[in-house]
Structure 1
Amino acid sequence: MDSPQLDGSSARLDELFPGENSTDTRFREIEWTATPLGPVEQWPQELVTAIRTVMPSTIPMLIWWGPDLVQIFNHTYTDFLGDKFPDAAGQPARECWSEMWDYVGGLCAQVMDGREAVHGVRQLFVMERYGYPEETYWTFSYSPIFGPGRTVLGVFVATTEVTMQVLGERRMRALLALGSLTGDDTGGPVGICRAAVEALGLEPSEFPLVAAYLRRDLADDGEVDHIATAGAVGFEAATWDSAAVVEVSDGRVPRACVEVDGIVANAVIVPLTLAGRVRPIGALLVGVDALRAGDDSATSFFVAVAERMSTALTASHAFEMERRRVAALAEADEAKTRLLENVGHEFRTPLTLLAGPLECVRESTTSNLTDSDRDSLDVVHRASARLRRLVDDLLDVVSADAGQLRARLEPTDLAAVTRDCASMFAAVASDQGLELVIDAAENGVVLTDGEMWAKVVFNLVANAVKYTPAGRVSVRLVTDADAIRLVVADTGLGIPEDDLARIFDRFHRVERSGAHSIEGSGIGLALVSDLITALGGRIDVESEVGVGSTFTVVVPRQPVESAAAVDLPVAAADSVSAIFAPHDTASVTVDRADILLVEDNIDMRNYLVRLMTDEGWTITTAGDVESALEHARSTAPGLVLTDVLLPGRSGLELVDDIRRDAALQRVPVILLTARAGTDFVLDGLSRGADDYIVKPFHDRELVARVRVHLELSRMREQLIEESDNQTATLRNALDTRAAIGRAVGILMSVYRIDADAAFAQLTELSQNTNRKARDLAVMIADDFTAGLSSDGQ
């Protein structure tokens, strides 16, 4: 304890250090005579003036005086000293700030010797004011205190500690970096943790060591698994007490010892959580820098970091669960679509076996059928027709789901199509006591997909008749310059308001008592909506329960100035006239009438064998591609009729093999398949098939097409035999056969006609132009392909 001051000194000390605070009290108690400053009464006026300026101020100020830089400071400055107070009062600066004097002493020397002020902004000083090295930041100014002759007597220090400001900004940067973590990151929770660790590692002063852990598969009872590390120190070589990580999963926030390069450091472990989970799903391990070991705010900050990561993990986990749910739904939807497509196509084979023989029996004039038998057959015929429409609707739905429902524009008399479709319900409406009014005046020919329009009219009128117990169903077609409007109205049961919003949803059915029938698949109106969308139009519905419903279809009108504007390129062919005109396809005699039938379905195979055997043709059968090739190579057939879907390799691959075989490449090949659509047709024709027949088909259509291709093959072989230049003729004949075969297939597909009608149309075109057959066929194929390409764009 310092000795009491003399009376004069006490008075002077009371004047210079008058405060009642601990700082002023300490300065009054110092035995100044034992210090380099000497007795208070002898202090120079410059020092007294400086003290009178510093001590009352509420701004932290410090005076270093004399050669020994004895320090005097005000009470506000004392807060910076920590455990250095009270010894720091009156202590030489070198002793007080020994841990950082190498730097601070140099600044003082600049002021004392250079007589100029120096300053620093956010300067790092490692201080030991609480018994351990501490990271601190200061903004300061060192100014000289001049005596006589500009002699520097001391240093005036004005300083502010900005440690918390620097740390706050640093920590805010870390939190902002974590703010970029989003739930839709492709890496999922593991990616979130890795990104977070990488972001935190960019602040090595705050995060010298950092690692994240997650439970395997985020299971409540799973093990903790190390997933990511990053930092300024080689954390890969670090070791730690892994039991501490397990402890945090039980809700505690322990500290762990981490050893890096032989140095043991402390680390804080904070939990990572998911919303809705009781137990943590992982942990964040953060090494605590030795310079921040006493910073109580660090733990709170690390907890905030873990909470921000937990928020991102929750969002990521939710996003991942939603992504999996959507993927599962998409997979289920795709599986459903495949099932519907496969079922729809598979239905075509039994439909063919049903419709073909049934039609033959109904049209037979020799069978001994009673009127009752014929009525029964008519019922079966209508049922098979309805089943075929349902299958077609189902496949249209599948096409719509796959984005392949595209309109094929052609000149169409919409009024005639509308009248024909609506008139189909005249008898049904009459039997039910309904008034069916059709108002579809002639409006000229427009460009549209007539088949799609027919399905729209058919479904809407069928729906109206079905749900109108009594009253009226009206069908009105109105055409103006830009649009075509179809209005189908009824005075039926109406649609409940709750169902209106879902009336066009697939498989949604409105259960209404009083309807004429409860039959329905729930795809009719959904298909109507898809078809109208493909036509570029829209459909609206107004309905009131007990009053009726009105469906309004609006599609854009594309008038056709003349039918020739959209006809396929008509070119003539003298040779076409010469080849086709003299021959009646119904009475052709085919020399090579041996046919190879490739079909794995026994019933379909027997049915086809019976059809073609009745024509006098010799049939050889095979159930797969390999057997078919073996038969063909041993005895070349006159024609190959093959299903596309076969066990093992497909019928398309059979076409490829035949076209590559020199001995078989001239054999005509007809594909038989349940898969409808232009894309399938073009795929088959592009491989070299001569024709493409879609199930279900009419038996006469199949026989006619087979006969035509047999005749073509016969004439081609005859021309080759009679030619002097066999090689050139063969090449020309092959090209001509392929071109004509493609043209016939295209005409049949575009105009929905059979082979006989296609050849009749080709013959008529030939007679009105002056182009050869091969040129005509090539132009038809080129125009058709170009049209499809432009539609696809």
Structure 2
Amino acid sequence: MRPPNSRGTLVEKDEAMNSARSDDGSARLDELFPGDNPTDARFRELDWASTDVGPVESWPDELVTAVRTVLPSTIPMLIWWGPHLVQIFNHSYTNFLGDKFPRAAGQRASESWSEMWDYVGGLCAQVVDGREPVHGVRQLFVMERYGYPEETYWTFSYSPIFGPGGTVLGVFVATTEVTMQVLGERRMHALLALGSLTGDDTGGPVGICRAAIDALGNEAREFPLVAAYLRRDLADDGELEHIATAGALGCEAATWDLADVVEVSDGRVTRATVDVNGTVANAVIVPLTLAGHARPIGALLVGVDVFRARDDSATSFLVAVAERVSTALTASHAFEMERRRVAALAEADEAKTRLLENVGHEFRTPLTLLAGPLDSVRESTTSTLTDGDRDSLDVVHRASTRLRRLVDDLLDAVSADAGQLRARLEPTDLAAVIRDCASMFAAVVSYQGLELVVDAAEDVVVLTDGEMWAKVVFNLVANAVKYTPAGRISVRLVTGADAIRLVVADTGLGIPEDDLPRIFDRFHRVERSGAHSIEGSGIGLALVSDLVTVLDGRIDVDSQVGVGSTFTVVVPRLPVESTAGVERPIPAVDSVSAIFAPQEPATVTTDRADILLVEDNIDMRNYLVRLLTDEGWTITTAGDVETALDRARSTTPGLVLTDVMLPGRSGLDLVDDIRRDDALQRVPVILVTARAGTDFVLDGLGRGADDYIVKPFHDRELVARIRVHLELSRMREQLLEESDNQAATLRSALDTRAAIGRAVGILMSVYRIDADAAFAQLTELSQNSNRKTRDLAIMIADDFTAGLSREGQ
């Protein structure tokens, strides 16, 4: 039998052993979890005996070693131990747990991370069964750390903890949350995409909003739903209109209640709910602003992902998005206003150009009515005018010549503004042109007591546009004469190997320093007392600058008030191989009809009107009727294209003389209709117009016109040209009636008439001579080259057209 107190002795021994074991466990806990932070304190308080790991004093050395490694580290680390993967982690890792702490301490991993264990458990199985580590970079995990699903991103490594015999006792986890880095990069990418929006987008503010929505819609994780609204016409009180929608949710804007959007008129960020295909979703509405507007001019409505519903940083980001879009809207609005301003200025400039061009063209008609009769009276040998009358007529003639020059300058200025000035390069004796231009001022210089010195004795032949060079010289000398009340004017030509300088200097009034920067501006005039004249349109020097630019040169001016001015023109020297191609003055004959056609009026038939005159200006029409009737021709008139066609088809005319600018359809359209009409296509057509220039001439001739006469014209020139074409037409018709081979004869007659007419017109346009001189030159060239006149005329037309084509290239 045991002694009575034997039981008590055993109990006392057991209690002593348990007390010793408890003291060992507490010491081990204090050793393994020594920190004073909440994490270590929780692990010390935990009843480990009730967990799957068991009492701490029974932990194997591998676990103890792992804990001693993990707990002191400041890197977030986690141990999953045993078959149930019980969690032990350090304090740095606790920050990742949220509301899961302190329950997660000593808890099975499958219970702690139940919302994502389907994926994480598979990774752990790979580590335990495969005995190899696994890792992930920026891996998405949807966690419920704060009572709601949350989008998080992690970079982690799962490594096995080996025991005796290579068995896997647990899993060592080293992890870092990179959620904010991922979101930051994603949001920065969205902001950079918005930064590519520029104010010069053609769509204006609406286009900016649509482009912004497209850019944001590409970031579906950040913007599952995004829409833009703008007020109508960007007015502060305009009705809000939906512009665009994008996002992965794919809802229609029409399903939304816009009441919340309208409430952003005070500029505050608003949270709202929207109906997404029958499902209520959270949204944030941020205002869009525009510089100069007191109230927001629109809003962005952004649906919030359910996994980011409580992300406070999202609101700040959306405000930054709205500010970026607002900046683009302001730039776009400013660009649109500037574009409209530029368009309005361009339209006004175009209207000004059209006005100046039309006015210039219209000036030519009264100039023709003035110059034609005036020249007839001045040149009449039977007139009973007194010397005083003739002096008066000479004054009128000079005035009309000056007016014509002003009109020409005006049209040249219009062409320069439109970029239509083109240099026609030809061998030109620059010195001879300078001497000729200077000689025109000899009388006025002598009358005003000025000294004009021209230093251009040596001939300088280069490739340039002779007409442009003459205008440059004329305008510079005229300007010097105008502003030199007394003293000397010098014109000097300086030649170099690569460049030529024209220096026009005077000892006149000089140009004030404030006016020098604007001296070549269109319509700018320097108002100076003491000038010989205050007349002027302000386009002379501007035209000189334009012409020099076309000639690939430059012009400089040096001036001092009271001392004088010096204009220096520098143009490149383009030499010619010889001077054989330089045109010399051509002797004029009294009349082209003396060689090419009889002086008496052409034969008139009773059933055919000689001339169909198409002219809408009554004075011009009456003048031409009187002029042509005096020549013995029968005249039929019309004021528009339709009337002219009706009369031509009722009685076929021998020739059509038409103005280009007519009410309704133009004279060019009349040429087209005549050439398409089988009964009228052989009728010669002469165009009379105020539209000067090679391009206009080629356009008219290209339509099928037989001749092109520019207003103002000399009446004898007009009569001579009409007589030529009437006689050619009569000869052609006779040949057609007499010839057995009508088609061949017709082609020969048409070609001959057209070729000679075009050649005469081209020679008149190129060398600025009248019809008599042009035909005389054509005849002389034919005799010298021993070529038929028809063949020579065709060659001239072909060479002229080819030269223009090369210039266009």
The two structures share one fold, judged by TM-score above 0.5:
yes
Using a 3 Å threshold, how does the CA distance of structure 1 residues 636 and 563 change in structure 2: closer, same or farther? farther
Instruction: Give CA-to-partner distance per residue, 1:380-438, whole Å, 9 cap, x none.
Output: 22222111111100111111122221122334332222122122222322333322212
Deviations 1:338-390 (A, max 9, x none): 11111110110011111222222333344444444333333322222111111
Deviation at residue 616 of structure 1 after TM alignment: 2.5
1:669-688 map, 5 Å: 669-688=685-704
Q: Does 1:421 align with 2:433?
A: no
Q: Which residue identity is paired with 1:522?
A: G
2:66 aligned residue? 50
* One-letter code aligned to 2:57: E
Where does residue 226 of structure 2 map in the other structure? 210
Deviates more, 1:173-182 or 1:387-396: 173-182
Matched to 1:11, the amino acid is A
- Correspondence 1:112 to 2:124: no
Match of 2:76 among 45, 60, 71: 60
- The 3 A distance-change label for structure 1 pair 658 and 788 is same
Q: Pick from 314, 321, 324: which aligns with 1:308?
A: 324
Q: How far 1:789 moved relative to its partner?
A: 0.7
Match 1:602 to one of 611, 615, 618? 618
Task: Point out the more displaced range, 425-434 or 515-524.
Answer: 425-434
Name the counterpart of 1:35.
Answer: 51
Which residue of structure 2 lines up, in the alignment, with residue 626 of structure 1?
642
Quick one: distance in 2 between partners of 1:354 and 1:582?
27
Task: Report the 3-state secondary structure (helix = DSSP H, G, I; strand = E; otherwise coil) of the residue aligned with 2:266.
Answer: coil
Q: Which SS does the other structure have where 1:498 is aligned?
A: coil
Question: What's the CA shift for 1:210?
Answer: 1.0
Q: What are the within-5 Å matches in structure 2 for residues 161-200 of structure 1?
A: 161-200=177-216
CA 1:34–1:668: 2 relative to 1, 3 Å: closer
RMSD: 2.2
1:248 corresponds in structure 2 to 264
Superposition map of 1:304-703 within 5 A: 304-562=320-578, 564-565=580-581, 583=595, 585=597, 587-592=599-604, 594-703=610-719
How far 1:35 moved relative to its partner? 2.3
| Partner SS, residue 154 of structure 1 | strand
Q: Residues 668 and 689 of structure 1 are in contact (CA less than 8 Å); yes or no, is this contact kept in structure 2? A: yes
| Shift in Å, 1:630 | 2.8
Q: CA deviation at 1:238?
A: 7.2
CA contact (8 A) 2:79 2:171 kept: yes
* Counterpart amino acid of residue 433 in structure 1: G
Tell me which of 768, 771, 786 is aligned to 2:802: 786
Counterpart-to-counterpart distance in 1, 2:26 and 2:594? 144
Amino acid of the structure 2 residue aligned with 1:623: G
Helix, strand or coil at the partner of 1:515: coil
Cα distance, 1:237–1:791 mapped onto 2, change above 3 Å: closer
Are residues 114 and 453 of structure 1, via their aligned partners in 2, closer, same or farther at CA, if it must alter by over 3 Å?
closer
**Alignment correspondent of 1:220:** 236
Shifted more, 631-640 versus 56-65: the winner is: 631-640
**What residue identity is the alignment partner of 1:587?**
Q
Distance 1:399 1:240 in 2: 59
SS of aligned partner of 1:132: coil
Query: SS at 1:119's partner residue?
Result: strand
Taking the aligned partners of 1:367 and 1:774, their CA distance within structure 2 comes to: 40
Alpha-carbon spacing, 1:6–1:422, altered in 2? closer, same or farther (3 Å):
same
Decide whether aligned partners of structure 1 residues 90 and 767 sit closer, same or farther in structure 2, where only a CA change above 3 A counts: same
| d(CA) in 1 for partners of 2:254, 2:716 | 84
Q: Where does 1:5-16 land on structure 2 (aligned, <5 Å)?
A: 6-16=22-32
Q: Which runs of 5+ in 2 are unaligned?
A: 1-20, 585-591
Aligned equivalents of 2:594, 2:568: Cα separation in 1: 51
* In structure 1, distance between residues paired with 2:581 and 2:477: 32
C-alpha distance in structure 1 between counterparts of 2:291 and 2:228, whole Å: 18
For 1:449 and 1:215, locate their aligned partners in 2 and report how far apart those are by CA, in whole Å. Answer: 59
Check the 8 A contact 2:235/2:297 in 1, yes or no. Answer: yes
- Give, in whole Å, the separation in 2 of the partners of 1:262 and 1:560: 86
- CA shift digits 1:425-482 (9 cap, x unpaired): 2232233332221222131543332222221111101111111222211111233443
SS at the partner of 2:173?
strand
Structure 1 pair 480–169 and aligned structure 2 pair: CA distance change class (3 A) = closer
Question: How far apart are the structure 1 equivalents of 2:34 and 2:632?
Answer: 134
Q: 2:285 aligns with which of 250, 263, 269?
A: 269
Which secondary structure state, in structure 2, belongs to the residue aligned with residue 419 of structure 1?
helix
Corresponding position of 2:587: none
Code of the residue aligned with 2:444 in structure 1: it is V
Amino acid in structure 2 at the alignment position of 1:293? A
Q: Give 1:72 shift.
A: 1.5
CA distance in 2, matches of 1:44, 1:560: 108
| SS class of match (1:590) | coil
Q: What per-residue deviation string (whole Å, max 9, x for no partner) do you get for residues 107-144 of structure 1?
A: 22233333332222222111111010011111112222
Distance in 2 of aligned mates of 1:502 and 1:582: 54
2:778 counterpart residue number: 762
Give the Cα–Cα distance (whole angstroms) in 2 for the partners of residues 614 and 228 of structure 1. 77
Partner of 1:99: 115
1:258 aligns with 2:258: no
Q: How does 1:111-190 map to 2 (within 5 A)?
A: 111-190=127-206
Give the Cα–Cα distance (whole angstroms) in 2 for the partners of residues 105 and 582 of structure 1.
116
Aligned pair partner of 1:294 in 310, 314, 320: 310
Distance in 2, matches of 1:478 and 1:610, equals 53
CA distance in 2, matches of 1:369, 1:447: 47
TM-superposition CA deviations, 1:274-314 (whole Å, max 9, x none):
23333222111111111111211111111111112222222
Any conservation in 2 of the 1:237–1:260 contact (CA below 8 Å)? no
The one-letter amino acid of 2:246's match is A
2: CA distance, partners of 1:113 / 1:631: 108
Work out whether residues 238 and 259 of structure 1, in 8 Å CA contact, stay in contact via their aligned partners in 2.
no
Deviation for aligned residue 1:606 = 1.0
Is the Cα contact below 8 Å between 2:593 and 2:723 reproduced in 1?
A: no
Asked whether the equivalents of residues 611 and 654 of structure 2 are also in contact (C-alpha less than 8 Å), the reply is yes
Q: 1:115 to 1:452 in 2, by over 3 A?
A: closer
- Structure 2 distance, partners of 1:180, 1:27, is 54
- Quick one: structure 1 residues 116 and 651, their matched pair in 2 at CA, closer, same or farther if it must change by over 3 Å? closer
C-alpha contact (below 8 Å) 1:412/1:447 kept by paired residues: yes
Q: Quick one: distance in 1 between partners of 2:265 and 2:151?
A: 32
**Paired residue for 1:70?**
86
* Structure 1 CA distance for aligned equivalents of residues 145 and 216 of structure 2: 29
TM-superposed CA distance for 1:52, in Å, is 1.8
Q: Distance between the aligned counterparts of 1:409 and 1:155, measured in 2?
A: 92
Alignment-mate amino acid for residue 90 of structure 2:
N
CA contact (8 A) 1:588 1:711 kept: no
Structure 1 counterpart of 2:416, one-letter code: A
Could you list the runs of 5+ residues in structure 1 that have no partner in the other structure?
569-579
1:772 is aligned to 788
Q: 1:708, CA displacement in angstroms?
A: 2.1
Aligned to 1:749: 765
Q: What displacement does 1:566 show?
A: 7.1
Secondary structure at the counterpart of residue 680 of structure 1: helix
Deviation at 1:655, TM superposition (A): 2.1
Distance in 2, Cα, partners of 1:481 & 1:116 = 87
The alignment partner of 2:664 has SS state of coil
Question: Residue 146 and residue 773 in structure 1: after superposition, are their counterparts in 2 closer, same or farther (change >3 A)?
Answer: same
